[in-house]
Amino acid sequence: MSIKLVACDLDGTLLNDDKVISERNYKVIQTLEDNNIDFLICTGREKNSVIQLKERHHLNCEAIMMNGALYMDKNNIVCFSKKIADEAVKKIIEIFDKYDCDFIVQTLEGIRSRHTYEELIEHFAEHMVEIGWATTLQQAHEKMKDFNFFEGNQKYETIDELLSAGVLKIENHQNHNPDITDDINKELEEIDGISIVYYPSGNVEITDVNATKGQTLYEVMKLKGYSLEEVMPFGDEDNDYSMLSLFPNSVAMCNGNERVKKVSGKISEFSNHEDGVAIEIERLFK
């Protein structure tokens, strides 16, 4: 197997359960660089969060962010982006307003929401406890402080403010009412030109129809002159489905969901907390 590009999801894949890159995973990234194999982050996270993570772990790599809506080079310069069409943004927000669903918007200029930073942190802390990411509000606040959740968030007043900032991704993190989840999803699916990632909790992530991890990774692959067989993506969740199903040498973590495991080229025997990424890459050099 001749691999020239490794693309790796962050949460649930490269990062362990403590949300850090282990020493073994870090070393294998250096091994890739030493062997002239490109390493690329491929995540749903927004730009500032990725830059902070790169700085914290001394990574010098490219990144696909916001589920494929933004591509950034090693120097953190945006190479291209894929905005959601203005009319689609208006319809999405109209639906969320109709069902009283809270949401955040990731734009070219940073995170926007209808809350101040302090209000958003409080809302999301409650959400983390509800879905089991934290056991107490205090623990949730500590985790968000450690990982700079929503840093740079600005409260917006009008949709025109959002549109002028360039909307890349809209996330609904607050819907836990199963009685309306199906209704929301049906109405979202009637909007042309968008891609929707659904999660069991009722959360959704929305980007432009061409802004998926798989599509953007394919475009980066073509820019570099590589083939499908020369790319090795790693992932675990529904927003990884598009790339794990497209590339034949893809790897799903054993902690990944069943949907992505079914379409992956391989299922690792190891989880994100067991250095699964490092173990699979180390096998390339044996």
Q: Tell me the domain boundaries of the chain.
A: 5-82+212-285, 86-208
DSSP secondary structure letter of residue 85: P
Q: What is the pLDDT of residue 33?
A: 96
70 Cβ partners below 8 Å, 6+ apart? Answer: 47, 64, 78, 80, 81, 82, 108, 168
Distance CA 165, CA 109 (A): 6
Which residues lie across from 107 on neighbouring strands? 110, 167
CATH number of 86-208: 3.30.1240.10
Encode pLDDT of 127-178 as tens digits.
778 777 788 998 888 877 666 667 778 899 999 999 999 999 999 875 556 7
Residue 162 CB burial class (10 angstroms; 0-12, 13-18, ≥19): buried
Higher pLDDT, 200 or 32: 32
State the average pLDDT over residues 178-187: 86
Residue 208 near residue 194, CB atoms below 8 Å: yes
Global pTM exceeds 0.75:
yes
**CATH class as words, domain 5-82+212-285:** alpha beta
DSSP for 197-262, written as a single string = EE-TTS-EEEEETT-SHHHHHHHHHHHHT--GGGEEEEE-SGGGHHHHHH-TT-EE-TTS-HHHHH
Tokens standing for residue 122: 């409080």
Tell me, what's the pLDDT at 272?
Answer: 97
φ, ψ for residue 60, nearest 5 deg: -120, 80
Q: Which pLDDT score is estimated for 34?
A: 96
pLDDT value at position 152?
Answer: 77
> Given pLDDT bands bounded at 50, 70 and 90, which one contains residue 58?
very high
- Please compute the mean of the pLDDT values over residues 56-74 and round it to a whole number: 97
Residue 88: pLDDT band (50, 70, 90) is very high
